[in-house]
């Protein structure tokens, strides 16, 4: 049975919650800076960071959700190795963002269906719209889109989320198999959105770096563990088009079929260690000139490995050569600073 939770929230500002001492005080200039003409193909500091406003948090089923919004802003969709910029239109009122996580472990869910409907005084304003899985430097993985509303007032935002079809392992095995529904009351006014500030990154824009994740006690960041802290034995790290691949070997976790060792590859962003989902990966293991494993790595969610790609191999020994091929880069929408990276990704080689 679907569970619906109704939440009314006061809408606390998130601007002061940003890590890294970013100054999000109001700016006189309200137009977002233009996209940089000479940006690199790596992760870079964006031109600006938007202030966000929290609508609220709520639980439903085995999930917990946080809903927030900012001023409408540009983002990029990715299909294959191509990207397409989504521009802000005159009809856009807000950029709506949903973060979802498994409540008992705090594991952020980056891959699922998040469908919203928005009503006001019983009238439908937005009907059954799927939010894009997205990646931003300060919010990490979330679901979002620019949306139009019908003037100032109170809106009900109904969210249908899940089920999670990604393979689930460890403590998550057997969970998140049902759809959950939750509802938020959103108090909207155009003047409030106009008053939301942004931090112009100035001379830092375009530098090879990333702004810090938001620091919020009530919402997990979704960052992957540092490679040295991943469970199991670290086999090595490599980088491809700024995507960092960390490979580990560990006992086969619950939820994964097979006997032997579990080869897990955590693909994450540099600097902030956000997992990169929606990729196609395969691996081969060569020992003394002979191939002892060759196959796909399956996208999997685990409480300690976060979102990663894994397969069961018969064994892994010192001296084994591991080749990891990227069939498709992350098919996830990107906020500014991530749109140029993780597209043209070459295979990487590791030696156990």
One CATH from 1.10.1660.10, 2.60.40.10, 2.60.40.2480, 1.10.287.3510 for 227-351:
2.60.40.2480
- What pLDDT sits at residue 215? 84
Domain boundaries, the chain: 4-204, 227-351
- What pLDDT sits at residue 30? 53
Query: What are the tokens at 84?
Result: 């397409």
Say how many C-beta atoms besides its own lie within 10 A of residue 290's C-beta: 7
**First-last CA distance in the chain:** 48
Q: Is 227-351 the same fold as 4-204?
A: yes
- What pLDDT sits at residue 197? 86
* Predicted TM-score of the model (pTM): 0.91
- What pLDDT sits at residue 216? 85
Q: How many angstroms separate the CA atoms of 119 and 164, rounded?
A: 26
- What pLDDT sits at residue 14? 41
Cα four-point dihedral sign 318, 321, 327, 329:
positive
Residues in the chain with pLDDT values less than 70: 1-30
Longest dimension (CA), the chain: 70
Looking at domain 4-204, its CATH architecture is: Sandwich (2.60)
pLDDT in tens, 229-247: 999 999 999 999 999 999 9
């Amino acid at each position: 049975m679907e569970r619906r939770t109704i939440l009314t929230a006061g809408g606390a500002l998130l601007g002061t919650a940003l890590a890294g001492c970013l100054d999000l005080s109001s700016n006189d200039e309200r137009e977002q800076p233009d996209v940089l003409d000479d940006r690199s193909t790596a992760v870079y500091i964006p031109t600006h960071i938007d202030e966000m406003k929290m609508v609220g948090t709520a639980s439903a089923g085995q999930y917990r959700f946080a809903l927030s919004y900012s001023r409408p802003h540009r983002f990029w969709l990715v299909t294959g190795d191509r990207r397409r910029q989504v521009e802000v239109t005159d009809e856009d009122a807000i950029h709506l963002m949903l973060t979802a996580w498994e409540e008992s472990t705090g594991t952020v869910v980056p891959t699922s269906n998040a469908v919203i409907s928005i009503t006001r005084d019983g009238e439908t304003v937005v009907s059954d719209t799927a939010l894009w899985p997205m990646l931003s430097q300060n919010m990490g993985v979330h679901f979002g889109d620019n949306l139009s509303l019908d003037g100032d007032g109170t809106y009900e935002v109904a969210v249908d989320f899940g089920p999670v079809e990604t393979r689930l392992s460890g403590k998550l095995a057997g969970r998140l198999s049902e759809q959950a529904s939750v509802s938020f009351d959103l108090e909207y006014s155009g003047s409030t959105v106009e008053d939301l500030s942004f931090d112009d990154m100035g001379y830092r824009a375009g530098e090879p770096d990333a702004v810090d994740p938001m620091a919020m006690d009530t919402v997990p960041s979704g960052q992957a563990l540092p490679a040295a802290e991943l469970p199991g034995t670290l086999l090595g790290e490599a980088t491809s088009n700024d995507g960092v691949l960390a490979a580990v070997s560990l006992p086969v976790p619950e939820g994964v079929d097979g006997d032997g060792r579990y080869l897990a590859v955590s693909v994450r962003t540099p600097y902030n260690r956000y997992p990169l989902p929606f990729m196609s990966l395969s691996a081969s293991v060569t020992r003394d000139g002979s191939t002892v494993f060759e196959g796909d790595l399956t996208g999997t969610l685990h409480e300690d490995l976060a979102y990663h790609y894994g397969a069961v191999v018969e064994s892994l020994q010192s001296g084994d050569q591991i080749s990891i091929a990227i069939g498709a880069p992350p098919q996830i929408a990107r906020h500014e600073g991530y749109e140029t990276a993780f597209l043209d990704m070459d295979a990487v080689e590791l030696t156990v």
